[in-house]
Amino acid sequence: MQSTVRGKAFIMGDNIDTDQIIPAEYLSYNPADPEERKYFGMYAMAGVPKGQLGLPDGNTRFVPENEFATEFRIVIGGKNYGCGSSREHAPLAMAEAGAQVVIAEFFARIFYRNCVNGGYLLPCESVERLVDEIHTGDDCEVNIETGTLTNHTQQKTYQLKPLGDIAPIIEAGGVFEYAATKGMIKD
């Protein structure tokens, strides 16, 4: 896993649930089919209500209409990011669109687990609330080794919490890779 990720930030509020990240009507695409999988990228964040999408203005699309990729690498939310349904399609959709890191004050459990075990996104918890300070479009950089987020646009650096027990799974790239390193399954 690379140790820094730099790119534009996309800011969201509290309690962003997985129905907002990828609405139920798009779940009929089969993520195991590469052609269909792309559509999760197209519809990532399609359920977020107007006014909440890309704070502070709240009207920035995550993925431009009829496109598959986002210009935002780093998604930053408030509390309880990824709550609700267990659909793995949520981190998958964000990753498919091109996001690499998701930062929140804290995550809902299943979303967090899906990010890590599926190796989709790096989920980091921030020490302080970021969504009132950082703006959508700011040039940000996450450094995993130093555990920091730097906002180059505003020239400020913030602390991220250590990855803790799950660091080995993240480093391995997911639960299958991790289990293979432990000899639990064949590589």
Partner 1 sequence: MPRAMTMTEKILAAHCGQDQVQPGDNVWVNVDILMTHDVCGPGTIGIFKERFGKDAKVWDPTRIPIIPDHYIFTADDKCHRNIQILRDFVTEQGIPYYYDPDFVNTQAGSGMPNPYRDPTQTNYKGVCHKALPEEGHCRPGEIMLGTDSHTCTAGAFGQFATGVGNTDAAFAMGTGKTWLKVPPTMKFTFKGNIPPYLTAKDLILAVIGQVGFSGATYKAMYFTGDGVQSLSLEDRMTLTNMAIEAGGKNGICDVDEKTLRYVEARSNRPDWTVYQEDVNAEYDGEFTWDLNDLEPLVAKPHSPDNTATARECKDIKLDRAYIGSCTGGKITDMIFAANILHGQQVKIPTFVVPGSTEVHADMKRLGLDGEPVKEGQKNIEQVLQDAGCLLGAASCAACLGGPQDTFGRLNEPINCISTTNRNFPGRMGHKEAGVFLASPLTAAASALTGHVTDPRDYINGPITTGSAGIC
16's tokens: 């962003």
Which is nearer to partner 1, 29 or 158 (by Cβ)?
Answer: 29
The mark string for 118-137 relative to partner 1 (x by CB under 8 A, - otherwise) is xx------------------
96 makes contact with partner 1 (CB under 8 A): no
113 makes contact with partner 1 (CB under 8 A): yes
CB 55 within 8 A of CB 63: no
**CB-count burial class (<10 Å; 0-12, 13-18, 19+) for 97:** buried
Selected binder of partner 1 within 6, 8, 13, 17 (CB under 8 A): 17
Which is nearer to partner 1, 36 or 146 (by Cβ)?
Answer: 36
CB 178 within 8 A of CB 169: yes
Selected binder of partner 1 within 8, 15, 58, 147 (CB under 8 A): 15
| CA–CA gap between residue 138 and residue 74 (Å, rounded) | 10
| CA–CA gap between residue 17 and residue 40 (Å, rounded) | 16
CB 132 within 8 A of CB 105: no
Residues in region 135-174 near partner 1 by CB under 8 A: 165, 174
Residues that bind partner 1 (CB under 8 A): 15, 17, 19-20, 23-25, 27-33, 36, 47-50, 79-80, 83-89, 106, 108-110, 113-114, 117-119, 165, 174-176, 179, 184-185
